[in-house]
Amino acid sequence: MTQTILDPTAPEQLRPAQEPCPDCPCCTARLCERGRLSVGECMAHTPPEFTVTVAGCPCSSATTRGTHAWRAEMIRITKHATEDPMPENAEDILRALTAAESFTDRGGFLRTLRARGYVTGREPAWQITDAGRRYITARTERRFTTPVEVLSVDTEARTASVVVVGWDIDAPVTVLLDQLTNATGMSPEALVGRFVEAKANGHTTDPDDLVLTRIQVRDLPDGWMGGEKKAGAEK
């Protein structure tokens, strides 16, 4: 009896090739889709031997507006600026770079600013990054406490749709679900229909620039906003 030996390179023996990402040269489309929705970027979903190849992928990078890594970075920078700000001499460097003015690094802060991602380049051509601009903006923008209603959650994308009452009660905003669960200790399902309280930069015009900090659970009185307190808000 003749034994049939399958050719290991035959099409039926190979895994289907994945489509390359149309927006970068380093990843598949599926990898970038996952990377965009992860604070760990594409690297967090890649075997160790390929992390160097996908490191810094623009599709999931913290420098690319709208990615989960970018949203997490905006939260980090805002908390740094509002809760643990840098010395004034360091901030003066960022302000000077913002206005394209000359400056003197009196305290030797440039190395720290570059490590934090707030500046790039080297002497004499230092440049402020978008992260640096966000820090300086957060130092001066008005932030106030406001109720935030959680409308829905997407556990696969790890996002939540919320209404920031002090910003616009008719325009839902996307925020990171893990920020809400970590701050409140509540499950995603328990958050739906709840009001929380947060600090927000409510004068921004772009919903993606809205950054919530100091999130805590708060019950609202009956009749607030013209209706009964939501059933989900009962403790």
pLDDT of residue 114: 95
Quote the CA–CA distance of 204 and 215 in Å, as a whole number.
Answer: 19
First to last CA, the chain: 74
**Residue 234 in this model has a pLDDT that exceeds 80:** no
**Residue 207 in this model has a pLDDT that exceeds 60:** yes
- At 218, the pLDDT band (50, 70, 90 cuts) reads confident
pLDDT of residue 10: 40
For the residues of 41-89, what is the DSSP string, one character each?
TGGGGS-GGGHHHHTT-TTT-TTSTTSHHHHHHHHHHHHHHHHSPPPHH
- DSSP 8-state code for residue 157: T
3-class secondary structure, 25: coil
pLDDT of residue 8: 44
Both tokens of residue 60?
A: 């999931």
- DSSP 8-state code for residue 12: G
- At 1, the pLDDT band (50, 70, 90 cuts) reads very low
Q: What is the pTM of this model?
A: 0.83
Quote the CA–CA distance of 193 and 148 in Å, as a whole number.
Answer: 10
pLDDT of residue 44: 93
Domain residue spans of the chain: 23-61, 72-140, 144-220
> Percentage of the chain surpassing pLDDT 90?
80
Task: Give the model confidence (pLDDT) of 45-94 as tens digits.
Answer: 999 999 999 999 999 999 999 999 999 999 999 999 999 999 999 999 99
pLDDT of residue 106: 86
**Residue 33 in this model has a pLDDT that exceeds 60:** yes
**Residue 226 in this model has a pLDDT that exceeds 80:** no
- Are 202 and 168 spatial neighbours (Cβ–Cβ below 8 Å)? no
- At 95, the pLDDT band (50, 70, 90 cuts) reads very high
Phi, psi for 134 (deg, rounded to 5): -65, -40
Task: Give the model confidence (pLDDT) of 108-134 as tens digits.
Answer: 999 999 999 999 998 888 999 999 999
Quote the CA–CA distance of 61 and 32 in Å, as a whole number.
Answer: 10
**Residue 9 in this model has a pLDDT that exceeds 50:** no
pLDDT of residue 227: 41
Task: Give the model confidence (pLDDT) of 146-198 as tens digits.
Answer: 999 999 999 999 999 999 999 999 999 999 999 999 999 999 999 999 999 99
pLDDT of residue 12: 41
**Residue 233 in this model has a pLDDT that exceeds 50:** no
Phi, psi for 169 (deg, rounded to 5): -75, -10
**Which parts of 75-231 are beta strand (E)?**
119-120, 127-128, 144-154, 159-164, 173-176, 195-200, 212-217
Q: Among 2.70.98.30, 1.10.287.130, 2.40.50.200, 2.40.50.140, what is the CATH number of 144-220?
A: 2.40.50.140
Quote the CA–CA distance of 73 and 181 in Å, as a whole number.
Answer: 17
